[in-house]
Amino acid sequence: MNGFYSYKNTYISLHFVSSYPNVSSCLKVSDMTEKFPDNTKNECLARMLTVRDALDVISGKWKILIIISIMSGNKRFREIERSIPKISSKVLAKELKDLEEHQLIKRTVYDESPVLVEYTATDYVFTLEKVIEALHHWGSNHRKKILEQ
Protein backbone atom coordinates (compact mmCIF):
# COMPACT_ATOMS: atom_id res chain seq x y z
CA MET A 1 0.00 0.00 0.00
CA ASN A 2 1.21 3.44 -0.85
CA GLY A 3 2.72 5.16 2.16
CA PHE A 4 2.57 2.12 4.45
CA TYR A 5 5.57 -0.06 5.12
CA SER A 6 5.95 -3.27 7.05
CA TYR A 7 8.88 -4.29 9.18
CA LYS A 8 8.47 -7.42 11.30
CA ASN A 9 4.65 -7.13 11.22
CA THR A 10 4.71 -3.54 12.46
CA TYR A 11 2.96 -1.11 10.14
CA ILE A 12 4.03 2.50 10.00
CA SER A 13 3.21 5.40 7.73
CA LEU A 14 5.84 7.88 6.71
CA HIS A 15 3.15 10.51 6.26
CA PHE A 16 1.10 9.83 9.36
CA VAL A 17 3.12 9.67 12.54
CA SER A 18 1.52 10.61 15.82
CA SER A 19 2.53 10.69 19.44
CA TYR A 20 -1.10 10.20 20.50
CA PRO A 21 -1.69 6.66 21.81
CA ASN A 22 -4.99 6.04 19.98
CA VAL A 23 -3.48 6.94 16.63
CA SER A 24 -0.11 5.28 17.11
CA SER A 25 -1.68 2.08 18.40
CA CYS A 26 -3.61 1.77 15.18
CA LEU A 27 -0.31 1.85 13.32
CA LYS A 28 1.41 -0.84 15.36
CA VAL A 29 -0.03 -4.32 15.16
CA SER A 30 1.53 -5.32 18.51
CA ASP A 31 -0.15 -2.40 20.34
CA MET A 32 -3.47 -2.96 18.58
CA THR A 33 -4.17 -6.25 20.29
CA GLU A 34 -3.47 -4.78 23.73
CA LYS A 35 -5.38 -1.49 23.43
CA PHE A 36 -8.01 -2.49 20.87
CA PRO A 37 -8.52 -6.25 21.23
CA ASP A 38 -11.47 -6.29 18.80
CA ASN A 39 -9.47 -4.65 16.01
CA THR A 40 -7.40 -6.61 13.56
CA LYS A 41 -4.68 -5.33 11.31
CA ASN A 42 -7.09 -5.35 8.34
CA GLU A 43 -9.76 -3.42 10.26
CA CYS A 44 -7.19 -0.82 11.24
CA LEU A 45 -5.93 -0.46 7.67
CA ALA A 46 -9.50 -0.28 6.37
CA ARG A 47 -10.22 2.52 8.83
CA MET A 48 -7.14 4.40 7.67
CA LEU A 49 -8.13 3.94 4.02
CA THR A 50 -11.58 5.42 4.56
CA VAL A 51 -10.08 8.39 6.42
CA ARG A 52 -7.59 8.79 3.58
CA ASP A 53 -10.47 8.77 1.07
CA ALA A 54 -12.21 11.54 3.01
CA LEU A 55 -9.01 13.57 3.25
CA ASP A 56 -8.40 13.22 -0.48
CA VAL A 57 -11.78 14.86 -1.12
CA ILE A 58 -11.65 17.73 1.42
CA SER A 59 -7.96 18.23 2.11
CA GLY A 60 -5.95 21.20 1.07
CA LYS A 61 -5.85 24.83 1.98
CA TRP A 62 -8.97 25.90 0.11
CA LYS A 63 -11.66 23.22 -0.32
CA ILE A 64 -13.34 23.56 3.07
CA LEU A 65 -13.24 27.36 2.78
CA ILE A 66 -14.89 27.17 -0.65
CA ILE A 67 -17.56 24.83 0.71
CA ILE A 68 -18.24 27.20 3.61
CA SER A 69 -18.47 30.15 1.22
CA ILE A 70 -20.96 28.38 -1.04
CA MET A 71 -22.99 27.10 1.92
CA SER A 72 -23.11 30.71 3.16
CA GLY A 73 -24.84 31.85 -0.01
CA ASN A 74 -22.04 32.92 -2.33
CA LYS A 75 -23.00 31.49 -5.73
CA ARG A 76 -21.03 33.27 -8.42
CA PHE A 77 -17.33 32.79 -9.08
CA ARG A 78 -16.34 36.35 -8.11
CA GLU A 79 -18.48 36.26 -4.95
CA ILE A 80 -16.75 33.08 -3.84
CA GLU A 81 -13.33 34.49 -4.78
CA ARG A 82 -13.91 37.72 -2.84
CA SER A 83 -15.15 35.87 0.23
CA ILE A 84 -11.90 33.89 0.56
CA PRO A 85 -8.83 36.07 1.16
CA LYS A 86 -5.70 35.32 -0.90
CA ILE A 87 -7.19 32.65 -3.20
CA SER A 88 -6.25 33.03 -6.86
CA SER A 89 -8.72 32.66 -9.71
CA LYS A 90 -6.73 29.75 -11.13
CA VAL A 91 -6.77 27.82 -7.85
CA LEU A 92 -10.45 28.57 -7.25
CA ALA A 93 -11.37 27.28 -10.72
CA LYS A 94 -9.44 24.05 -10.13
CA GLU A 95 -10.90 23.48 -6.67
CA LEU A 96 -14.46 24.17 -7.87
CA LYS A 97 -13.96 21.58 -10.60
CA ASP A 98 -12.72 19.03 -8.03
CA LEU A 99 -15.65 19.70 -5.70
CA GLU A 100 -18.07 19.33 -8.61
CA GLU A 101 -16.49 15.99 -9.59
CA HIS A 102 -17.02 14.75 -6.03
CA GLN A 103 -20.67 15.90 -6.21
CA LEU A 104 -20.30 18.34 -3.32
CA ILE A 105 -21.32 21.34 -5.42
CA LYS A 106 -23.37 21.83 -8.55
CA ARG A 107 -22.38 24.12 -11.41
CA THR A 108 -25.27 25.63 -13.34
CA VAL A 109 -24.75 27.62 -16.55
CA TYR A 110 -27.54 30.01 -17.55
CA ASP A 111 -27.60 30.78 -21.26
CA GLU A 112 -27.91 34.53 -21.05
CA SER A 113 -25.88 37.41 -22.33
CA PRO A 114 -23.42 37.52 -20.62
CA VAL A 115 -23.32 33.86 -19.59
CA LEU A 116 -24.14 33.38 -15.91
CA VAL A 117 -22.55 30.54 -13.93
CA GLU A 118 -23.69 29.68 -10.41
CA TYR A 119 -22.34 27.19 -7.90
CA THR A 120 -24.67 25.72 -5.32
CA ALA A 121 -24.27 23.25 -2.49
CA THR A 122 -25.66 19.77 -3.14
CA ASP A 123 -27.53 17.83 -0.49
CA TYR A 124 -24.46 15.61 -0.24
CA VAL A 125 -22.21 18.47 0.94
CA PHE A 126 -24.41 18.95 4.00
CA THR A 127 -23.15 15.57 5.26
CA LEU A 128 -19.93 17.49 6.01
CA GLU A 129 -21.59 19.97 8.39
CA LYS A 130 -20.55 18.08 11.53
CA VAL A 131 -17.01 17.69 10.18
CA ILE A 132 -16.78 21.42 9.44
CA GLU A 133 -18.20 22.28 12.86
CA ALA A 134 -15.71 19.93 14.55
CA LEU A 135 -12.82 21.49 12.59
CA HIS A 136 -14.05 24.97 13.57
CA HIS A 137 -14.24 23.99 17.24
CA TRP A 138 -10.84 22.28 17.22
CA GLY A 139 -9.22 25.16 15.31
CA SER A 140 -10.62 27.71 17.75
CA ASN A 141 -9.32 25.77 20.76
CA HIS A 142 -5.97 25.16 19.08
CA ARG A 143 -5.56 28.87 18.29
CA LYS A 144 -6.25 29.73 21.97
CA LYS A 145 -3.77 27.10 23.16
CA ILE A 146 -1.00 28.30 20.84
CA LEU A 147 -1.58 31.99 21.61
CA GLU A 148 -1.39 31.29 25.37
CA GLN A 149 2.21 30.17 25.08
Looking at the predicted structure, is the pLDDT value of residue 44 above 50? yes
pLDDT value of residue 45? 86
130, pLDDT greater than 90: yes
**Whether this model's pTM surpasses 0.85:** no
Mean residue pLDDT of the chain comes to: 82
Domains and CATH numbers, the chain: 4-58 (no CATH), 63-148 (1.10.10.10)
Question: Taking the CA atoms of the chain, what radius of gyration do you get in angstroms?
Answer: 20
Q: Are 11 and 29 in contact (CB under 8 A)?
A: yes
From CA 79, how far away is CA 85, in angstroms rounded? 11
- Note the pLDDT of residue 96: 98
pLDDT for the residue numbered 116:
95
Instruction: Note the Cα 110 to chain centre separation in Å.
Output: 30
